Amino acid sequence: MKVLVLLAVGLAVVSAKVPGIKLHTGYEMPVIGLGTWQATGQSVRQAVKDALEIGYTHIDTAEVYKNEKEVGEGIHDAFAAGFIKREDLFITTKVWPQGSNRQKALATIHHSLQQLNVSYLDLVLIHAPLEDYANTWKGLEDAVDQKLVRSIGISNFDHRGDIDHVFNSARIKPAVNQINIHPTLNNDDAVTYSNQKGIAITGYSPLGTGGLVKNPTLVAIGKKHNKSAAQVALRWQIERHLITIPKSVTKKYIKEDFEIFDFTLTQEEIQTIHNMH
């Protein structure tokens, strides 16, 4: 049996409720955020506001989600209600690399800033290793130079060759790699290799796009902690020192997903979940 070794990524407290991981850029990234993939219109606007009211301090979106405007409106609703201030919020978005280049990537970031109605972004990722993503990366570096973005990174870079192609040519090294991770897809190789390069990991679709919320293994472990299967799956990511971005537009589930900091899993439970892959 392969023994799970937890990666030594330092945790820091970024708010009273949310721990964070310190990126190599010096900024701290909250370990849980609200994902917004496939969420649009007024539902995502309300979900963002609800999340920030509950205590989230991290919102994840992307150019291709076509929801940055509504996400921005939800953020500003939360500002107006006094739930959070901009300096306490971590905003991630992504640049789609197909058809992009250095100039277009920078223009996309300017557009995202306009849509979200903020003056800077905490993290911008290349959304996937497509086409000439190394040239697109230079546009992200330009955005950092212009103080439009604090940290930059990659997404869906599962293979060492793709990670190395960016890392070896980059003037500013990737701070984060966002990849698909859940109990039946632990993605150990990409996690380990990214961390060896000093790149933190965000796991998206942490509940297997909803397919794991009734998983019997997770349900059984959850009963021991008076927690749901979803909370166990998310806590497993936290125990691995990963960042996780569950997605929901329902306030009840957004709140449930956030309530994962008042229990811990045993090493045996962590290993059991890890072996589900």
CATH assignment at residue 46: 3.20.20.100
User: Which residue in 65, 133, 204, 253 is the catalytic one?
Assistant: 65
**Is-contact 204 180, C-beta < 8 A?**
yes
Q: For the whole model, what pTM was predicted?
A: 0.93
Per-residue confidence (pLDDT) for residue 11, from 0 to 100: 47
Q: Is 127 annotated as a binding residue?
A: yes
Residue 165: inside a domain:
yes
DSSP the chain: -PPP------EEE-SSS-EEEE-TTS-EEESB-EE-TT--HHHHHHHHHHHHHHT--EEE--GGGT-HHHHHHHHHHHHHHTS--GGG-EEEEEE--TT--HHHHHHHHHHHHHHHT-S-EEEEEE-SS-SSHHHHHHHHHHHHHTTSEEEEEEES--SHHHHHHHHHH-SS---EEEEE-BTTB--HHHHHHHHHTT-EEEEESTTTTTTTTT-HHHHHHHHHHT--HHHHHHHHHHHTT-EE--B-S-HHHHHHHH--SS----HHHHHHHHTT-
Residue 139: inside a domain:
yes
Residue 193: inside a domain:
yes
Residue 21: inside a domain:
no
Residue 259: inside a domain:
no
Per-residue confidence (pLDDT) for residue 277, from 0 to 100: 84
Residue 8: inside a domain:
no
Number of structural domains (the chain) is 1
- Domain span at residue 107 reads 32-210
65 is catalytic: yes
Per-residue confidence (pLDDT) for residue 276, from 0 to 100: 92
Residues lower than pLDDT 50 in the chain: 1-3, 5-14
CA–CA distance from 56 to each of 43, 45, 60, 218 (Å)?
Answer: 17, 14, 11, 24
Residue 156: inside a domain:
yes
Per-residue confidence (pLDDT) for residue 189, from 0 to 100: 95
Residue 245: inside a domain:
no
Per-residue confidence (pLDDT) for residue 16, from 0 to 100: 54
